[in-house]
Structure 1
């Protein structure tokens, strides 16, 4: 049975699945406030993984890459609702409330927590819109977004250092970033943006750092990891090719043989000699 993903009103999205579903790579350009209504979300992000259990609120920081797998609950349903807290809304809120920040958020990037009574009641209040029993006018939708910001800050005032940081992305270490993100199958333009560079600047700095093009480096790095997984961890390509950024299995097999001169089956045979 296929799942659904609906935009209930501007900035509010509801997802429902009935079977395990592996999502594609996603670039999160704006802050996202979500609530796990049922089931679990397993998220892969640079440097680790996170499990978002049922009845948990998660705040995902902007400008991140993430890959999710959705697991239905024992009742057979996966339900997740998310609110986008974009720059336009947050900037307006900051001006109206005279909010300024000097330092970034000191805490962990994995911001998921059990909701307090106010946040829990807030997500419950969205049910009529999700169930289509009530239509949200633009004015009412704006009020619900502002309410989400208010309750989030009430639950943890330090979150203002995340929400109201409007500084432009700065250039970050290219080698360290690529080693943490090479497995995400996203465009070169997205990689450039996440490292605080223009596309031309990214390609120029990439050439200086790696002495090759981004496309060639990504393929070689993914294939090197694949070789390690097969030889030392005895993994099957069918189980990991998507996780390494390959779009299909035949493309992976073709690329592997082209790089190493032998197939993955040949590699396994050589191990057993």
Structure 2
């Protein structure tokens, strides 16, 4: 029970901090004070409330609002974004794809990718540490079969543990948040966990961030079918397929993956190898 209350206290403190950060916005940039638009824009700013986006429309609105503030309050927007991202990752809250796309819209494709990769890794490590400190026995009690399956596979692939974790990140047989909270139970060392997240989620982060950057630049249907946009989409497809292909090729000869499922389909890499 002590561990539960400890976790509740950490979540409550982080939630209160994020609320204070989002509730008290800095002064709006000068555009809101232009003659003839002062009242209307002030009302629009007051009506908008910062919240986690749940669809593309909300993502566009949030990106527009934060880009508006970013012109004179870059440090505030960066702090707010990093705090929100770490909050989601640390407490295993799904929805990182929208925040990755927001990074592309706010900071551009390359700076956004760097920020997303760092925050994904740090947030996942926070989740690992919180699970190890407060939640190991509760996770085992809530998900006994899944934890037992992952434990067996981790032990079977202990000699290639880093590549096994990379495979799980590239081909999510279990959600990333679940892998984060169960890794302490699997006795995965923090350095291996840290770098497997940093490297293993680069393709996913790249796809999301690049998509967000493209969406922020599109103003009409004609922009979608421009050569520039089509080439960027091709680059995204290649970035997603190439690392996964290499890891899958490695897994056929070095990893033991019988019994695992990828996207609901039973993995039979080693079965095919034995035929």
TM-score range, shorter chain: under 0.3
Larger RCO (CA under 8 A, 6+ residues apart) = 2
Higher strand share: 1
TM-score normalised by structure 1 residue count: 0.27
TM-score normalised by structure 2 residue count: 0.26
